[in-house]
């Protein structure tokens, strides 16, 4: 619904702009008032729908292999990520964790039919039950492929990301976000998108049951 309403809004505003130019050129002030009034009413309806859907949204926790979609600038929603594996360890090579290393395997994939696309400036962070945020240890990760690498239609790749979390951390959840500039502006006003104003987010559950490793 959000994408359809966004496209209808863009198309409607384009048509309204043309009609407004015509009304001003022909000095048809009735048409001018009609166009401006119609635009104002539609924008109010859109704003109410945007805020209402966000207020009614609920935080969602995704399990292993459960995909999360990203819409981005083109509002096509073809790019996805999923967590396919989670492990814990105290050491990686000669590096010792302050708490425990969480090694999270992330799959990036596309369900596009033809286009070669990718994530835009993806960001990964873990949030715990106290809303404390933890950043990746990029220096311990394999540099390739980068997470913004283009993916062919129907293609995918996987890569591990690493975090150092306190041993007593509770309910760690991985938040994956993407987009910069115009992407963020569009998604902020896209009804139902998790990046829209006030919308609850979708997180990946980091369940490490029976997946503890020692290195």
pLDDT of residue 77: 74
Distance CA 95, CA 193 (A): 39
CA atoms within 13 A on the CB side of 215: 16
Going from N- to C-terminal start, the domains of the chain cover 2-56, 60-205
pLDDT of residue 3: 67
CATH topology of domain 60-205: Immunoglobulin-like (2.60.40)
| Model pTM score | 0.78
**pLDDT tens figures, 99-122:** 999 999 999 999 888 888 888 889
Cβ-count burial 5-29 (b if 16+ within 10 Å, e if not):
bbeebeeeeeebeebbeebeeeeee
pLDDT of residue 213: 42
pLDDT of residue 73: 54
Q: Before 83, cis peptide (omega within 30)?
A: no
What one-character-per-residue DSSP string does 138-203 give? GGGS---S-TT--B-TT-EEEEEEEEEE-TT--S-EEEEE---THHHHHHHTSTT-TTSTTPPPEE
**pLDDT tens figures, 171-207:** 999 999 887 767 777 778 888 888 888 889 999 999 7
Averages of pLDDT over each 10 residues, the chain, 215 residues: 76 91 91 93 93 91 91 70 94 93 95 86 93 94 90 93 94 89 76 84 79 42
């Amino acid at each position: 619904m959000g994408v359809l309403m966004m496209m209808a809004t863009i198309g409607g505003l384009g048509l309204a702009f043309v009609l407004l130019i015509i009304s001003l050129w022909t000095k048809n002030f009735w048409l001018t008032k009609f166009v401006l009034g119609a635009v104002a009413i539609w924008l109010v309806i859109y704003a109410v729908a945007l805020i209402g859907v966000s207020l009614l949204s609920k935080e969602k926790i995704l399990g292993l292999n459960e995909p999360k979609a990203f819409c981005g600038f083109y509002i096509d929603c073809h790019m996805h990520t999923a967590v396919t594996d989670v492990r814990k360890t105290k050491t990686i090579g000669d590096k010792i964790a302050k708490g425990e290393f969480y090694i999270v395997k992330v799959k990036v994939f596309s369900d596009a039919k033809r286009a070669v696309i990718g994530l835009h400036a993806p960001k990964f962070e873990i949030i715990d039950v106290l809303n404390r945020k933890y950043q990746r240890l990029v220096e311990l990760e394999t540099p390739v492929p980068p997470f913004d690498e283009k993916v062919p239609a129907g293609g995918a790749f996987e890569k591990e990301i690493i975090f150092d979390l306190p041993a007593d951390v509770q309910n760690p959840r991985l938040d994956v976000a993407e987009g910069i500039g115009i992407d963020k502006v569009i998604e902020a006003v896209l009804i139902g998108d998790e990046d829209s104003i006030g919308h609850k987010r979708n997180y990946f559950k980091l369940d490490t049951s029976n997946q503890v490793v020692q290195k």
